[in-house]
Each structure stands twice: as C-alpha cells, then as structure tokens.
A and B are shown apart, each in its own frame.
Chain A
Amino acid sequence: MKDFIIPDDRDLGTPASHSDITVTLTVDGIPVSVPAGTSVMRAAAIAGITVPKLCATDHLTAFGSCRLCVVQIDGMRGTPASCTTPVAEGMVVHTQTDEVAQIRRGVMELYISDHPLDCLTCAANGDCELQDMAGAVGLREVRYEPGKNHFQRRENGELNPEWRAKDHSNPYFTFDPAKCIVCSRCVRACEEVQGTFALTIDGRGFDSRVSAGLASDSFLSSDCVSCGACVQVCPTATLIENTVIEIGTPERIVKTTCAYCGVGCSFDAHMRGETVVKMVPSKDGKANRGHSCVKGRFAWGYATHAERILNPMIREDYRDPWRVVSWEEAIRFAADRLRATQEKHGRDSVGVITSSRCTNEETYLVQKLARAVFGNNNTDTCARVCHSPTGYGLKTAFGTSAGTHDFDSVEETDLALVIGANPTEGHPVFGSRLRRRLREGAGLIVIDPRHIDLLDTAHRNDAIHLPLLPGTNVAVLTAMAHVIAAEGLFDEAFIRERCDWDEFLEYRDFLLDPRHSPEEVERQSNVPADLIRQAARAYAAAPRASIYYGLGVTEHSQGSTTVMAIANLAMMTGNIGKPGTGVNPLRGQNNVQGSCDMGSFPHEFPGYRHVTDIETRKLYEQVWGVPLSDEPGLRIPNMFDAATQGRFKGLYCQGEDVLQSDPDTSHVQSALASLDILIVHDLFLNETSNYAHVFLPGSSFLEKDGTFTNAERRINMVRKAMSPKNGHADWEITVMLANALDAGWDYSHPSEIMDEIALTTPSFAGVSYDLLDREQSVQWPCNAKAPLGTPVMHIEGFVRGKGKFINTEYVPSEERTGGRFPLLLTTGRTLTQYNVGAQTRRTDNTVWHPEDVLEIHPHDAEQRGIREGDYVRVASRAGDTTIRAKITERVAPGVVYTTFHHPTTQANVVTTDNSDWATNCPEFKVTAVQVSPSNGPSEWQEQYRSHSELSRRILPAAE
C-alpha cells in the first residue's frame, strides 16, 4: 500500500483479527495487547514498530513469500516471518537483531539484483515500497554480477528472452513486467478483494511472472474488470495509474465520496494543485473498506471533459441556437420567465426536479425553492423512476423508507437472496463484498430473468437461480411465502413478539390459497415449482438470511407489492434486526436515498412527513418564514401529462436527464417542447437540454462541499478538491435563482444548509459537519437517541411499532406479449457505464461498452434470422429503435435485454408509460416487443439526431 502521504493511514501489514480474547506480548521491549489471531507484524505495528515487508499489506491475508519481515521470537527456533506468525500470550519478539538485519539485507540484495535501478525516472519514485525497504534494511551494495534477468531489454546487443514489453491494453493503468518483484499482491487482491480471479502467476521459480488470464491474454482481454485493486496494492511501479505516469506524484489528499452508484464509496482524491492525479478508495471508508470499481477509481475524467459547459446560456425558443451570457443575465432571464409563467398560468404551473446525483444540501434547496418560493409542492426526483416503491413499501411494512442494514452486515450473512439486482455490474463494490462472503460458504438465491454474473462467482457455494419471466416477481415471492407457511418454516416467536400474530394468521390464510402454490405460479412465471420450493426452504433454513434487491423489483407495475412481499418474507422468517439479515435496497445513484430524505417528493417534506401534517408544515413555515401549500404537488409523469395538456409550463431540472432516463421518450419530448421555460442545470448539454431555454452549468462532485447519503443511510462527506470550473457550486446557483425571485436566502456554506436540515428533520437532528468530520460518516437516524447514527435498524422493535404483513395479490402487468409483440424486453446496467452515460461515455470506459446491445436467446435469434452483431429493430406499442444484437444464453427464450447508457439507441423510446400502482414508478423492466432484422437507424433516431444537432448550436460570443 502506497501510504506515503497520510502517516495515520499506515499499512499494518495484515488484516485485523476479530476475537474476544486479548493476548499480550512484548515487541522490542514494548508491551502490546491485541486480539488473538493477530499477526506478530500487526501487533508490532500497533506498538508503533515497523517491520520491513514487501508481500504483506493489511488489504490481504498474509502470504509469507518475501521473507523480509522475519523476526526472532524467544523460545522459537529460527527466524519466523512475522506476517504469518500469530501472536501468543507472553511472546517476546525482537524485530531488530543482527541476525535478522543480515537476512533482510541478503533478501533485499537478491530482489535488487533483478530490478532496474532507474529510480530517478521511475513513475513510482518517492512512492515505492521497494525503494523504502532498501533504505529500511540498509542495503549498500549488490554483489551479484549482471546475469540472467527480467528487466534489461537487450543484453550484449541481443534481445533478452526473459524481458517482456509493457502491457498498455488497459486505458487507465500500465503493467510493466520489468519492474515486477512477484510479490503476488496483485494476484491476491484480484482474488480476495475483487473476487474476479483474473490474474495468476505464470510458471514458477525464476520463470514466475504475473499473468492476466492465459498466456495469449492482455489485461484488457482477460477477465480484468479494471477495479484498480491490483494497482492499489502494487508496491512498485509495475502496476501504476497512467495519470501518475503523466503527472507525477500527488502532493495532497482530499477525502471525499464517489458520485456514481448508491454504494457511496469513500475516496481519497490525490491532488496536485487543482488537478486530480488519482482517486484511491479509502481504507477507512465504511461502505467500501478500501475497495473501488472502474467507475469511481478511474472514470472521473468527465469532470474536465472538453464538452463540459462552463458558461450560462439562454435562448428565446428551444429551436434557436444558444447564446452565452453572464450569470446575472441567465438568472434574471430564468427568474423573469418563471414569474411570468406563474402570473399567466397560475401558481401551480411551474415545478422542479431534484437530482439524485447532487448533494443533500443542494437537493434540499431545490425542493425548498418549489415549496417556499414557487409556493407549490411541484417537486419530484428521479427516485420516482427507480426506488419510489421502496420508500412506499418499506414505510408501510416497517415504518421507514430505507434499507435496514449496513453493507458490513453482508460479512455475517449465511444466505443472500438477490432479486432484480445485478450487484457485480450495478453496485460492484458491494458485489465484491458479497462474492467474498459467497466464497466463505454463504448460500445464494438469485431471482432474475437473466443469468447474472454473480452466479458465475468463482469458488462460490451452492446457488439457486429462479429465471422468472419479467413481471412475475410478486407471484414467485408469494409462492415462496406459501411454501414457508405451508411447511411451517416461519419463525413463530419472532412474529408473535415483533408483529401482530392475528394479522399474520390472516396473511397465512391468504398465502395458503392454492392459487399461490408453486405449481400454479410455475405457469405464470416459467420457474419450475421445485426450484421455488428449494429456494423457500433454503431462505427459511438459513440462520441469517439477507435480501438485496434493485430496480428489477421496483420498476414494475407491481413494484410496491414486490417490496412488501420481500418485507413479508423477512418478517415471517425473523430475518430482521440482527447482523447478516435484513431487507436492503441497492440504490441506483449516489444520492437517491438522500434526495428522498431531503423531501424531494411532492407529498412529503424532508424526513418523509406528509405535506398535510400540520405540525411539520407549521415548523417549516416558521423556519422559512412563508406560508406553505398543504396540497401534494405533481409527480414527474403528472408534470409531463399536465404539460401536454397545457397546464404545466415551467420546470427547473437539476442534474437529471429526464428525456433519456424516463419512459416513453416521445411523450416526454412533446411535454418538454410545450414548456414556456425549461431550466436545465447540468454539467453537459444533455438530451433534456435540447428543449431548454436556460442552461445553467453545474459543478462536479470534485468542486463542492456537501453530503451524499448512500443505500445504507450513510451520510458521507463530499469535499471540494478544486474550485468550480463553472464559477459556482450548484447550491450557490440555486440560491442565486431563489434570490432573483426575492427569496432572500443567505447561506454562506453548505454546512449552514445541513444545520437547517438538522433543525427541522428529527432523523437528522444530530447531524452536523463537525460530527461528520469527526466520525467520517454516520447512518441516520442520528439524533439524541442515537448520537452516532444507526447501522442496523429495527433491532428492538419496528419503527412503526409492529411489523405489518400485507397481502400481496399478484396483479399481472397490463403489458403482455401477444402476436405482434411476442418478446419481453427488460433493461439493466453494465459495469463500466452509469445511468444515461453522460459521465461514463465521456471517459475511456467506452473501451468496454462502446454501444448498447440487445441480448437475445439463440433460439429467438434463429427464428428471426438474426446473427451476432446484426442491427435489429426493436418495436413496442410505444415506439421503435435499432440496436445491435448479441446472441447469448444469459437470457431465457422469450426475453430480450438491453442497457440504456447511450442516447443514440435510446432504449426508452420503446418502454411504455405503465407504472407502479402506488408510486407511479415506471415499468422499465417489462415491455412487450418484437425484434426484426434492420438496415439502420429508425426514423425516430434520424429525426432525433438532426434535432439534437440543431438544438446544441451555440452562437459565438459577441465581441
């Protein structure tokens, strides 16, 4: 671990041991007490003594190969390696004796005899553990004559057969075998931390080298997912970030939080001046524990991409070219138009859409803008299109709209039930943590129409895959509950104590109806009855079973019912309230949880309190000093409907590309085109901005202070690493807009916004920037009862009192296959791209995913005469688009699958406006389609492309 900058972030050499027994030993005369099972090396480090090491790092279990960490221990023969020797009571350790000093120098001499001495021009100069260790052991000469080696390209004019060229195939890092000391850290990190097993040691002895995949593979062609774990642990310049090669070593570190998915990984931004040199996951990050994925680790180049817009722009009509103007002019124009629109079409004719990518503070301000300045509750967020059913379902069942456990809890689970989620692609760091647990022997049940990568986890234990038809989640989960009820596998004691027993009996009667039997459900879902039974028994039998779910649960017309069915399963088996269990939604975006918490929804103030709640409204009226509406406002789909009907005319849309991410693109298009004022506040001219009148350039997560709340309710600090390239942080821009509408806001720092949130929101009452700086992060509820936050919820009892069982009747989606549309299309995400791709498409991640493809089963492809790589037309009742086909057995016959990262293919042109019965969350996951061979882009794509080009013209600045 390259730990040269932060001294308190020392590498202790081996991972922590978890034991209740404490052992006391003496290291170099210093007594130290550590948990049993700790290595001598770690104990020494805790005592403040550094033992030289090369192959050991506290990211990885000890390996004992470098022999540099040898010590002498009284009563033990020889010189044991301190990394692999566990401590014992009364042990007396000597880390510096003449004998070990001589051994270490001898070992170092051998290492250096096969290592180039180009330290001064090496990219790792100053950040090289080999260099440090040579100094630490006092190596003064290398007695070996130059001979057979791996590092000289030419020897006596001849090409050295042992030399290998650098591997530049990965766009983000370089592998230089000449500098490798074969410590195996990279191989072990790939296995233990990431769980991909892409690397190995080729050969043995002097011939040993690190190899990605087979002999013929490069890093790019291997299984490598570019998570960066190998680069992070490499002690030399063998595996090193290309940015470090280009820029040099960083000079300072800013601790911040990744702005991609809902895992919310903590990162150290290594900076040189105002330039990011590299992003390295923080070892003390409580969500990621020192791990990262390709997006957070490497795909941050979009923040300085040439296409980023840095100046405000306005235009009279969305068909005009953009005019670059001053901030004052843009804000004035926006404010005047908003005011004029409200005067002409009424107070309720304008609204806002908050972003799940912006900070809590920014989101809070945007919803406050709607409620306090516009005077209505027309605020909604993209959570509408992803996890709104989670909020509704879990609040109904448990009393809180959030996941129950922290990510650490996965380390204690005995069985993970994964429904409608693809963690290794969508939430990769959590995926790696889950994989580690699966290798330790935990069971796995996957309920998903696709064969997801998690099922291919190397060295996993038993797994059951229920490949259901899209849209039948409720039926399958209810059938599982039927089996648990029928076979008496439920946890009666838990239900009697924590839930209402009579209510459960009612639910049981509902379940035992033969229409919920696995045999009946097999006919609807295509899942063999026997598999449903196996899954139900395995889930009920596991001592600690956990459920992790994603958008494959929520983005359905029965999304809320499925969430309730999940809650029922957990409650009836007592899998709530203790580590290793729980119901855990995997949030799509970095701050979906936060944007929901911050009152983005039209019917709820921050903290999920209804707008009709008089107490809450009074509180906000008092704090904000204005009267507030008690009428719930418009949800996103209602905004679009009202717009097409001419009742909704103005929208402020922050950090959200509704045109690409919302269903039924043509409908959204006509809604946006009908607005009098559309303000888009974003980093890039996104698809929505094609219809905008005002473009306010946004700031990236590297350019502002604030907080994100991840899927485990963890409030993480986002810290400013560089000044905003657009001139203002996003919260300042919202304040300017509000003040142009005479709001009189006077925030001088986001911490003041957080103070206002804490003042008005009971579950955030204890949160402040001081606390976050001290604790790094806290999980809400954080208040007088839980001053340091709440990692696991519902331990003693449910927040709502008794857990609530709700009958989960399966009401099939209106979207059905038939003669014209015989296939079911479902959508998802891929590892290297993120959401609408606005960020990741502007990075080298396109190497892995240059375009969206349609996965189709060989049988369906053959019937239609479709070959691998052909352009195909995908048509639904809503529209059609063309896309390239990928033939794979990952999808079942009758099901096709695609991602929605690229605007040119626009999967959402075909998705319909069906939505969840309770929350209007769109049914992205089920669309009946037909697929046929095609020659090229659809008519819609052609039209869209030309409009998009036209609407992105920017007039040259007036001289």
Chain B
Amino acid sequence: MQSPANAPHPPNTPKVAALDGEGLERLQAIIARHAGTEGPLLPILHDVQAEWGMIPEAAQPIIGNALGMTRAEVYGVVSFYHDFREVPAGRHVLRLCRAEACQSMGADVLADQVRVALGLDWHETTADGRLTLEPVFCLGLCACGPAAQMDDRLVGRATAQRVVALAEEAR
C-alpha cells in the first residue's frame, strides 16, 4: 500500500504549485472585478496577462473554480490564443507577418534578414529583455505586404532596414 509520504504525486491534484500569498490576492482582485459579468473568462485572462505579462499556470485552476469551469477548460482557452503567453515577452514585441499574401511579397526573405540582423529566432527575446520577435499570421495589411508590427504600430511595405531601425530605436 502506498502512503502519501512516498507517493510520487497525489492523483487529481495539479502538479503546478498552488498560487498563494500576494499573488493569490492579486488574482482574486481581478476575478472579483469581473464577477457577475457575461462571458468573463477572456476579460479576466487579459487582465491577468496585463498584471503578470503572462498567464501563470497556477492561476488557471483558480480562475476555473471561480467561473464554474475546470482547469482543463481554462487551459484550452489560454492555449488557443497565441497572445496569451506562457512566459512574459520582452518590453517590446516585433511581429512579422508570415501569411500567404506577405509571403508572395517576399516576407520569408525579409524574415531571414531581420532574424540575422537582430540575432533572434522566432519567439526569442534579447538577453537584455527589451525585444521579442514573433511571427504573426495576417495583420490585415495584405494590400501593402510584407507587413510588420512594432508594439502597437503597424508597418506596411516593410523592408529589413526599416524594421531593424524601428527595433533598434525601441531598444
């Protein structure tokens, strides 16, 4: 017979350590702000990401519990949206469109040049934590491809020179 002391991990218990202390209080404050609203999950997740820069795994069971959902359901939503992060991004985020219209306008070549110039591969962040490079699938700027986005600023007919300059500026 197993005893809890030597059991590897108790069944039906998340492996991630439970959120407690000040982190838990911050999360509960966010949940409370959305109590009683319709469809509160996405607004809560946005606020959590604003607070932590990511969606901590330990927050997901607590959010689920508060909304009458399970942690699996919350995780399904979090993992569906690429904008909900598992780790915080750098201070600035550069996105390069990789969708078909931009590809036909040379987005792949642009991407290679930018990656070399910045020394970053997809989803990587500079050592100083100031810049993250990400692919994106369509920014809705198909008429002016290839397209890019530096934080909130959209860039049409992007060139390596211009994109790298913007990135350097931000750094």
Contact = CB atoms under 8 A, between A and B. Distances in A.
B134 to A, nearest CB: 15
Contacts of A846: 1-2
A221 B72 CA distance: 12
Interface string B6-39: 0101111111100000000000000000000000
A847 interface: yes
Contact of A198 (B7, B70, B86): B70
A203 B71 CA distance: 15
SS class of chain A's interface: helix, strand, loop or mixed? loop
Interface residues of A, number: 33
B1 A199 contact: no
Contact of A216 (B12, B14, B80): B14
A198 B9 contact: no
A458 interface: yes
A688 interface: no
A459 interface: yes
B3 A197 contact: no
B79 interface: yes
Contacts of B16: 214, 216
Given A196-B70, A458-B70, A202 B76 contact: yes
A18 interface: no
A198 B61 CA distance: 12
Contacts of A869: 4-5
Contact of B72 (A200, A216, A847): A200
B72 A213 contact: yes
A519 interface: no
Given A214-B60, A215-B79, A223-B12, 8 more contacts: A201-B76, A203-B80, A214-B57, A220-B11, A221-B14, A848-B11, A848-B12, A851-B1
A220 B9 CA distance: 9
A74 B75 CA distance: 42
Interface in B71-93: 71-73, 75-76, 79-80, 86
A211 interface: yes
Contact of B9 (A197, A204, A211, A221): A221
A104 B60 CA distance: 39
A221 B15 contact: yes
A884 interface: yes
Given A212-B72, A460-B68, A202 B2 contact: no
A884 B80 CA distance: 41
A202 B70 contact: no
A239 to B, nearest CB: 15
Nearest to B69: A458
User: Chain B, interface size: which category?
Assistant: 20 to 34
A36 B107 CA distance: 52
Closest 3 CB pairs of A and B: A200-B76, A197-B70, A200-B72
Contacts of B3: 850-851
A737 B84 CA distance: 71
Given A216-B57, A458-B68, A869-B5, A200 B73 contact: yes
A409 interface: no
Given A203-B80, A221-B12, A223-B12, A214 B71 contact: yes
Given A203-B80, A216-B16, A221 B70 contact: no
A870 to B, nearest CB: 11
Contacts of B7: 850
Nearest to A191: B73
A224 interface: yes
A884 B4 contact: yes
9 contacts: A197-B73, A200-B72, A200-B75, A200-B76, A212-B72, A215-B75, A216-B57, A220-B9, A850-B7
Contacts of B80: 201, 203-204
Given A217-B14, A221-B11, A222-B12, A211 B72 contact: yes
Contacts of A196: 70
Contacts of B12: 220-225, 848
Contacts of B5: 869
A850 B10 CA distance: 10
A459 B69 CA distance: 6
A203 B84 CA distance: 11
Given A848-B11, A850-B2, A850-B3, A197 B57 contact: no
B82 to A, nearest CB: 9
Interface core residue of B5, B79, B86 (most chain A CB under 10 Å): B79
Contacts of B69: 197, 458-459
Contacts of A223: 12, 70-72
A224 B13 CA distance: 10
Interface string A827-868: 000000000000000000011101100000000000000000
Contacts of B10: 221
Contacts of B79: 200, 202-204, 211, 215
A199 B76 CA distance: 9
A222 B72 CA distance: 8
Contacts of A214: 14-16, 57, 60-61, 71-72, 75
A182 B68 CA distance: 26
Contacts of A201: 76, 80
A189 to B, nearest CB: 13
B68 A459 contact: yes
Nearest to A203: B79
Interface string A458-479: 1110000000000000000000
A216 B68 CA distance: 21
Contacts of A211: 72, 75-76, 79
Nearest to A222: B72
A223 B69 CA distance: 12
A204 B77 CA distance: 10
B9 to A, nearest CB: 6
B11 to A, nearest CB: 5
A254 B79 CA distance: 43
A459 B1 CA distance: 36
A202 B1 contact: no
A798 to B, nearest CB: 39
A213 B79 CA distance: 12
Contacts of B1: 846, 850-851
B14 A197 contact: no
A221 B57 contact: no
Interface in A409-456: none
Contacts of A217: 14-15, 71
B57 A199 contact: no
B59 to A, nearest CB: 10
A840 to B, nearest CB: 13
Contacts of B73: 197, 200, 458
Interface core residue of B14, B71, B75 (most chain A CB under 10 Å): B75
A925 B7 CA distance: 30
Interface core residue of B15, B16, B61 (most chain A CB under 10 Å): B15
A203 B11 CA distance: 25
A214 B64 CA distance: 11
Nearest to B137: A205
B2 to A, nearest CB: 4
B69 to A, nearest CB: 6
B40 to A, nearest CB: 14
B75 A213 contact: yes
A922 to B, nearest CB: 27
A329 to B, nearest CB: 36
A221 B60 CA distance: 15
A211 to B, nearest CB: 7
Interface string A177-206: 000000000000000000011111111100
Contacts of A850: 1-4, 7
A201 B76 CA distance: 6
A255 to B, nearest CB: 32
A202 B75 CA distance: 7
Interface in A305-356: none
A175 B87 CA distance: 28
